[in-house]
Structure 1
Amino acid sequence: MKPFQLTYTAKDSGLLREALHDWGISKRTLASVKYSGGQILVNGNEVTVRHVLEKDDAVTVIFPNEELGEGLIPEAGQLQIVYEDEALLIVDKPPLQNTIPSREHPAGSLANIVANHFEVNEIPATLHIATRLDRDTSGLVCIAKNRHIHHMLSMQQKGKMMKRRYDAFAHGKFAEQKFVITEPIGRKDTSIIEREVRQDGQFAETEVEVLQEFDGFTHVELGLNTGRTHQIRVHLSHIGHPLLGDDLYGGKRSGISRQALHCKSLELVHPVSGEPISFTSPLKEDMEQLIYAKR
């Protein structure tokens, strides 16, 4: 299959290296282009990054094809594709599925199934998962098809240009209808898995909005302004409203066998076209049933 490539137009004269940096191409990506079979062309001629550009020069970066890592075994399975093009794959992950293989669950992960999708469709890519979800959490996952696109998405996340919203069911009733939790999160001293609010942790911020109250729990919408491990789960538990089903952080597994958390929407700027794009995912059946049971 033809390798992924992008073409840019030089706005001014100057060093090619500087223009590539301005276009968001990282040093690591440039190294892979140089040493792993890629090319940089100016007006159709191969050049090095020391080339001096003239205004309106056409610069084409041909990225090397990537191969799946040896440890990732492609597996056939159901894959709910929400969007796909040469740069991105957006999928809707079911609950109780790992995003990547783990020691406890070495097979059946989303990554295994996406690897099979790439192999069957002869897509020369490895997996670059930009928005990972916990095993229990369902909803939208964004996957880049090459290193450069992953870098561009990471820059969007750091610049808060990528926005994710979550549906969650939390124990109890909230005193406020709309508020922000800003508490640092770090690893718990007594566990390699659990996180907690602690003053020496990393800055973490979660937006909370109450949508509807039920008998015993509240449906809330959440927005992440940072992406710490277990952030939503830790923050809600810290304020006394753990997620339903989240027994690791104080929730009760009555009526649901996993934490009641779902990534409902994803907004980003397409890393190639520059156009804003957005996707949504409806609540999964097990969370819907909790609502129906209370009506």
Structure 2
Amino acid sequence: MTRIFTYNIDMNYSSIEEFLRQKGYSHHIMTHLKRTERGIVHNGDWAYSSAALVPGDRLVITLTEDACSENILPAPVPFEIVYEDEDLMIINKPSNTPVHPSVNNYGNTLANGLAWHFAQKKENFVYRCINRLDRDTSGLLIIARHALSAALLSSMVASRNICREYLAVAAGSVPHCGIIDAPIAREAGSAITRCVDFERGERAVTHYKCLSRRDGCSLVRLRLETGRTHQIRVHMKYLGYPLLGDYLYNPDYRIMKRQALHSARLSFDHPVTGIKMDFTAPLPDDMEWIMK
């Protein structure tokens, strides 16, 4: 793919590289641009990244990517595209779909489905998933379309500038609302499970609000302030209201065959244009059936 960025300069910069660094261009991207024919064009002419910028200058950056994710086999794995532009995609991932290929999942992942999607359009595609969801968690996630948007979005995740809200069905009657501020660590002797541990854990904060209750279950809206592994699942168990169907933390499948967790909303400023973005995904059928 080729993505062209045009910047109209309104102040002095000691170098093009200084300006681009402030725009989020990494060392890797800068190296790539320097090796790209007319990757950096200053007032119509190819330029070194060391050239100075003054008000009124016009800078055109051409970011090209010819590579593909070689180890991802294209396969027709279903998913829904909620939004797509030159910089990012918003995907509504079904449950029972891993995000990345792994030892036991070679061709049934979201990555395989996206590789298939772009192969049908005869477009190169490098898989860059920004916010990861567990296999059985459904809902919204962000895919970066190129290296710059990936760097910018990853920085936004680290600085907590992407708001993530989830819906979950928990066992029991969850209180009206509250904040869970409890550090999470890897459980001793396990490579997978996590637990609340006030001595070894990293700080984890989850805001929750109970939306409705029915037959001993609660529909809960949760907002992540941090992003620890299994954070919602661990925090809800710690609170005393584990998620239905959670094979790690509440292996009771009488009502749900998978953990009742759904990434329902993402809101953030577009990493390139700055436009406010807000996306929602409705409650999936299995979770809605429980509450209705």
> Shorter-chain TM-score category?
over 0.9
| Structure 1 position 285, deviation (Å) | 1.0
The alpha carbon displacement at 1:103 in A equals 1.3
Find the aligned partners of 2:179 and 2:121 in 1 and give their Cα distance. 43
Aligned partners of 1:251, 1:205: CA distance in 2, in Å? Answer: 24
Indicate how the Cα distance of structure 1 residues 213 and 251 shifts in structure 2: closer, same or farther if over 3 A, else same.
Answer: farther
Distance 1:93 1:70 in 2: 22
Q: How does 1:235-254 map to 2 (within 5 A)?
A: 235-254=235-254
Where 1:12 maps in the other structure, the secondary structure is coil
Q: Is the 8 A contact 1:10 1:19 kept in 2?
A: no
Q: Which residue of 2 aligns with 1:166?
A: 166
Partner of 1:231: 231
What CA distance in whole angstroms lies between the structure 2 residues aligned with 1:37 and 1:285? 51
1:110-149 correspondence to structure 2 within 5 Å: 110-149=110-149
**TM-score, length basis structure 1:** 0.93
Query: Structure 2: how far apart are the matches of 1:151 and 1:208?
Result: 30
**What are the superposed Cα offsets for residues 197-254 of structure 1, whole Å, 9 maximum, x if unpaired?**
1232222111111111122211100011111111111111112111000031125212
- 1:6-155 alignment to 2 at 5 Å? 6-14=5-13, 15-35=15-35, 39-155=39-155
Q: CA deviation at 1:66?
A: 4.2
Partner SS state of residue 289, structure 2: helix
Question: Does the residue aligned with 1:235 lie in a helix, a strand or coil?
Answer: helix
Give structure 1 regions of 4+ aligned residues with deviation exceeding 6 angstroms.
none
User: Deviation of residue 114 (structure 1)?
Assistant: 0.4
Structure 1: runs of 5+ lacking an equivalent = none
Deviations 1:153-193, CA, capped at 9 Å, x for gaps: 1122222221111110111112x311111111121121111
1:70 CA drift (Å): 1.9
Question: Share of identical aligned residues, percent?
Answer: 36
Q: Return the offset for 1:60.
A: 1.5
Tell me how far apart the structure 1 counterparts of residues 72 and 34 of structure 2 sit (CA, whole Å): 26
Pairwise CA distance, 1:77: 3.3
Question: Using a 3 Å threshold, how does the CA distance of structure 1 residues 224 and 38 change in structure 2: closer, same or farther?
Answer: farther
- After TM superposition, the score normalised by the length of structure 2 is 0.94
Deviation at 1:69, TM superposition (A): 2.3
Instruction: Indicate conservation of the 8 Å contact 2:80/2:93, yes or no.
Output: yes
CA 1:8 to 1:124, structure 2 compared with 1: closer, same or farther past 3 Å?
farther
Code of the residue aligned with 2:187 in structure 1: it is: K
| Counterpart for residue 267 of structure 1 | 267
How large is the Cα RMSD of the aligned pairs?
1.6
Specify the SS of the correspondent of 1:128. Answer: coil
Q: CA deviation at 1:36?
A: 6.2
Deviates more, 1:247-256 or 1:42-51: 247-256
How far did 1:83 drift?
Answer: 0.6
Counterpart of 1:32 in 2: which secondary structure?
A: helix
Stretch deviating more after TM superposition (59-68 or 225-234): 59-68
Return the alpha-carbon distance in structure 2 between the equivalents of residues 130 and 35 of structure 1: 27
1:186 lines up with 2:185 in the alignment: yes
